[in-house]
Amino acid sequence: MQWLETSTENCPVQRTLEVVGEKWTLQILRDAANGVRRFDDFRRHMSLSEAVLSDRLRKLTAAGILSAVPYQEPGSRARKEYRLTRKGWDLWPVLMALGQWGETYAGEPEGPVLDIRHKDCGAEVRVVVECCAESVALTPRDVVARPGPGARRLG
């Protein structure tokens, strides 16, 4: 079976986009990865409506990407902080890759918006696809993609 003979109904990219592909969702995850936790801080940082933000936070929490942790300021009602779960943190390389692409092809002439460096050595952090056997960076020409055991024939 070749790629064009396979159904895309169970494509992992499509399934991922069903969870995180709405406008604002990846930006909420970007902010969460950068330490934003509270509803008002998300809203203020992104100039996002309360209704849209509430909807996205609810969906991300239901999907297990964020967890809602109660907190209460003295004299105020109980509220929730939103924290990335392990499942949410597993999207961090995706966010890094999108940012890297954006800096390369849609960046500011002055330079990067975020300068992301390795704490220990100070080197720039880059996202690469690498071979797990050789730890060698790969290009699309270096790989072969074939339908796997979960592939379904196009019906």
- Mean residue pLDDT across the chain: 93
Q: Spell out the residues 6+ positions from residue 109 whose beta carbon is closer than 8 angstroms to its own.
A: none
5 band by pLDDT with thresholds 50, 70 and 90: confident
155 pLDDT more than 90: no
Cα distance from N-terminal residue to C-terminal residue, the chain: 13
Domain membership of residue 101 (yes or no) is: yes
- Per the CB < 8 A criterion, the answer to whether 29 and 91 are in contact is yes
Domain membership of residue 153 (yes or no) is: no
Give the bridge partners for 153, in sequence order: 6
Question: Helix or strand or coil: residue 144?
Answer: coil
**Rounded mean pLDDT of 11-31?**
95
Domain membership of residue 147 (yes or no) is: no
Give the pLDDT of residue 93: 96
User: What's the predicted TM-score (pTM) here?
Assistant: 0.87
For residue 13, the enclosing domain spans: 3-142
- Per the CB < 8 A criterion, the answer to whether 58 and 120 are in contact is no
Domain membership of residue 154 (yes or no) is: no
Q: What is the CATH number of the domain that holds 129?
A: 1.10.10.10
25 pLDDT more than 90: yes
What are the residue ranges of helices labelled H in 2-151? 12-20, 25-33, 39-46, 50-62, 86-89, 92-106
Give the pLDDT of residue 1: 78
How many domains is the chain built from?
1
Give the bridge partners for 130, in sequence order: 137
Give the pLDDT of residue 104: 93
Domain membership of residue 72 (yes or no) is: yes
48 pLDDT more than 90: yes
- Per the CB < 8 A criterion, the answer to whether 99 and 27 are in contact is no
- Per the CB < 8 A criterion, the answer to whether 145 and 3 are in contact is yes
Give the pLDDT of residue 134: 85
Domain membership of residue 150 (yes or no) is: no
Residues 90-112 pLDDT 10s: 999 999 999 999 999 999 999 99
Q: Spell out the residues 6+ positions from residue 99 whose beta carbon is closer than 8 angstroms to its own.
A: 30, 114, 116
Alpha carbon separation from 115 to 24, 99, 101 (Å, rounded) = 22, 11, 14
